[in-house]
Each structure stands twice: as C-alpha cells, then as structure tokens.
C-alpha cells in the first residue's frame, strides 16, 4: 500500500511539474491538468468559446490568397539565422516531446521576413502526431512546430499581442525507404529514446535544426491564428511550409510508443477571419491523394467542356 502511495504521489508530482503548454515555455493560467482526450475541459476562455482566429484549421488551397498586393506578406523572403547549432534541453512534458533553447535570449536562433514585421527568437520546437493543420481535408502523419517569440518582448508580453508569436510549421511524411541524405529526423531520433516517459529531461542537447527545416522556404501558407493548446491565445502568426520532410517507418513508430497519450493534436477549428495567404510565385503542393483527385477532377471537367462544345455545335445553339 505504501509503495502504491509513493508511486502515485511521484506520478502526480511529475504531472504537475510537466504541465506546461506545448506551444510555450510557460504554464497556462493554472496548474490545471488538461488532456487531448477532452477539449471541452481545457482552461482558457478562447479554447472554450472559439474566438475569431483559432488554430489549427483545414487549409483549402482554392481559398488561399496569392498575396500580389502584399496585404500580409510584406517583408520580403523569410530569413533564418543561427539554426545550425542550437543548444537545447529535451523534455517529455506529458503532451509532447519538446526541445527548448538554452542560454541567453540573445543566443537564440532568429527568424524575420515574409509576414513578420519584427524579428522573432526561437523558444522551442515540439512534435504533433498526427498533424494539427490539414490541407484540403488531408492530414500528414506529423507536424513540427518551431515556436518563436517577438525578440523585443518577453513570453508573457508576447502572449497578449496579436503578433507576439511566430510558429513555423513543417509537415512530416512517412516513407519506408530513405537515403541517408533524406534523414531529416536522424539527429532528433538519437535523443528520443531517452525521452519516452512524462517528466524525462535531457539537457545540453546540441541540435542542427536546419535539417528539420530543409524544405523549400519560399513556399508556405501563412495566416494570423492562435496557440493550439491552452490558453489558445490569439497571438500567433503561422508560417506553414508546403513541402514536408520525411521520416522512416521505424522513426514514426517510435513516436507512437512515447508514453503520453493516444494522440496530441487539437481538433480543427472553424474558419472565421483566418484568411490564408501564400507568396506569389509558388506552386501549390497538396498531399498526393488530393493531387490525384484534383487531376481527375480537371480531366473530367475538360472532357465535359469539350463535350459541351461539341453538343452545342452539333445542335447549332450558338
Ligand atoms: Zn504545437
């Protein structure tokens, strides 16, 4: 009995210690223990009432605005500085595996450009399996979030500004046979086995994040949204790359074995004011299955167009 009590109290202590929201370093409003199994019990008014620009959303590529008029993407190409050697602490916080930047704020990697009026410093990256965002109703096996805070603000200040945070998102696809050169996740995976249980922590981890960000950086969706975990603050500029990175089956299976929960994605939110923009000269990439239907759809439409013309000509209605 005593052993049971000791184990139980140890477990509760761990839970309390790790109850931080995946999107930021800081705790949510309270020490409220929330779970992905019941979103109706999440703390924070915005998580409950929905707000106006909640995330994640299903990105409908037909509705994405090419930003010819520079309404949202006003600051040139995206610029990433200092992502090659980043000193981090790996944490299993009970909701995800996260790598938080260590040391002085000044040493953190920085992103600017694109839709970002300010410079943003990297606070942490973490993983969602499945993806939180969807493209034309299709999800990817994984989504990696690089959470950045406006360089001129503290995390707490940033959470209350409409552009306080910038989250860069990279989708992950699973592929069974990969070349070494394709091992985007290789470095991260060497640390994951030590982070399998809630409360596990690993400091002094040096990560080359440019591997995780090895995608076409000129092609992305961007919109003003929210955190996808409590308190769902509407403070995030999302930058979601259209090209996924790839993982092996074995790598993906390891995430499925992490002792957290069955899944760790928030459900898709209603689209209200979230207009999704895209840089002008970019090809839209969508998951293969959708591409197939788009192609078939186009072929069928073309066929009927021809057919229609033919019929019209045939009966001289024009
Ligand atoms: Zn996230």
pLDDT recorded at residue 71: 96
Average pLDDT over residues 118-138: 97
Tell me, in angstroms, the distance from the centre of ligand 1 to residue 56's CA: 9
The CATH T-level fold of domain 2-307 is Carbonic Anhydrase II (3.10.200)
Rounded Cα–Cα distance for residues 304 and 59 (Å) = 28
pLDDT recorded at residue 286: 57
pLDDT value at 163 more than 60: yes
pLDDT recorded at residue 77: 95
Q: Which residue has the tokens 């993983």?
A: 127
**Is the previous residue joined to 130 through a cis bond, with omega within 30 degrees of 0?**
yes
pLDDT tens-place string over residues 36-67: 888 888 988 889 877 899 999 999 999 999 99
Residues 6+ apart with CB under 8 A from 221: 59, 64, 238, 239, 240, 242, 276, 277, 278
Tell me, in angstroms, the distance from the centre of ligand 1 to residue 288's CA: 24
Query: Hey, which residues does 149 pair with through a beta bridge?
Result: 121, 165
The per-residue b/e assignment along 251-280, b for 16 or more CB within 10 angstroms, e otherwise, is bbebbeebebeeebbbebbebeebbbbbbe
pLDDT tens-place string over residues 197-238: 999 999 999 999 999 999 999 999 999 999 999 999 999 999
Tell me, in angstroms, the distance from the centre of ligand 1 to residue 124's CA: 10
Average pLDDT over residues 172-188: 81
Strands 58-59 and 65-66: unpaired
Rounded Cα–Cα distance for residues 294 and 122 (Å) = 37
Tell me, in angstroms, the distance from the centre of ligand 1 to residue 22's CA: 6
Query: What is the gyration radius of the CA atoms in the chain, in angstroms?
Result: 22
Tell me, in angstroms, the distance from the centre of ligand 1 to residue 5's CA: 34
Strands 65-66 and 277-278: parallel
pLDDT value at 3 more than 50: no
pLDDT value at 90 more than 80: yes
pLDDT value at 105 more than 60: yes
For the chain, give every domain's residue range: 2-307
Tell me, in angstroms, the distance from the centre of ligand 1 to residue 127's CA: 7
Tell me, in angstroms, the distance from the centre of ligand 1 to residue 250's CA: 22
Tell me, in angstroms, the distance from the centre of ligand 1 to residue 4's CA: 34
pLDDT tens-place string over residues 238-290: 999 999 999 998 899 898 888 766 689 999 999 987 899 999 976 655 555 44
Q: Is 174 helix (H, G, I), strand (E, B) or coil?
A: strand
pLDDT value at 298 more than 60: no
Tell me, in angstroms, the distance from the centre of ligand 1 to residue 95's CA: 10
Tell me, in angstroms, the distance from the centre of ligand 1 to residue 314's CA: 58
Tell me, in angstroms, the distance from the centre of ligand 1 to residue 251's CA: 19
Tell me, in angstroms, the distance from the centre of ligand 1 to residue 253's CA: 19
Tell me, in angstroms, the distance from the centre of ligand 1 to residue 33's CA: 17
How far lies 214's CA from each of 114, 185, 248, 272, in Å?
17, 11, 16, 32
């Amino acid at each position: 009995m005593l052993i049971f009590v000791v184990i139980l109290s140890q477990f509760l202590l761990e839970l309390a210690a790790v109850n931080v929201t995946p999107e930021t370093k800081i705790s949510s409003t309270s020490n409220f223990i929330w779970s992905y199994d019941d979103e109706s019990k999440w703390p924070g008014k915005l998580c409950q009432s929905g707000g106006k620009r909640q995330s994640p959303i299903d990105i409908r590529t037909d509705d994405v605005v090419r930003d010819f008029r520079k309404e949202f993407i006003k600051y040139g190409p995206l610029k990433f500085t200092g992502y090659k050697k980043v000193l981090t602490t790996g944490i299993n916080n009970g909701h995800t595996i996260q790598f938080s930047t260590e040391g002085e704020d000044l040493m953190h990697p920085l992103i600017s450009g694109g839709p970002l009026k300010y410079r943003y410093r990297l606070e942490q990256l973490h993983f969602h399996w499945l993806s939180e965002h969807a493209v034309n109703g299709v999800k990817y096996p994984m989504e990696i979030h690089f959470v950045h805070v406006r360089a001129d603000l503290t995390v707490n200040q940033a959470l209350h500004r409409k552009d306080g945070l910038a989250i860069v998102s990279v989708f992950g696809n699973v592929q069974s046979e990969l070349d070494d050169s394709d091992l985007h996740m290789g470095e991260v995976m060497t640390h994951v086995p030590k982070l399998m249980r809630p409360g596990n922590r690993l400091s002094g981890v040096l990560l080359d994040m440019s591997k995780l960000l090895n995608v076409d950086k000129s092609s992305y969706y961007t919109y003003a949204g929210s955190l996808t975990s409590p308190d769902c603050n509407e403070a995030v500029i999302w930058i979601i790359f259209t090209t996924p990175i790839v993982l092996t089956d074995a790598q993906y299976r390891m995430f499925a074995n992490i002792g957290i929960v069955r899944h760790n994605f928030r459900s898709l939110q209603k689209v209200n004011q979230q207009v999704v923009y895209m840089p002008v000269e970019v090809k839209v990439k969508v998951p293969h299955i959708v591409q197939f239907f788009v192609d078939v759809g186009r072929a069928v439409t073309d066929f009927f167009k021809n057919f229609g013309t033919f019929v019209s000509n045939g009966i001289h209605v024009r």
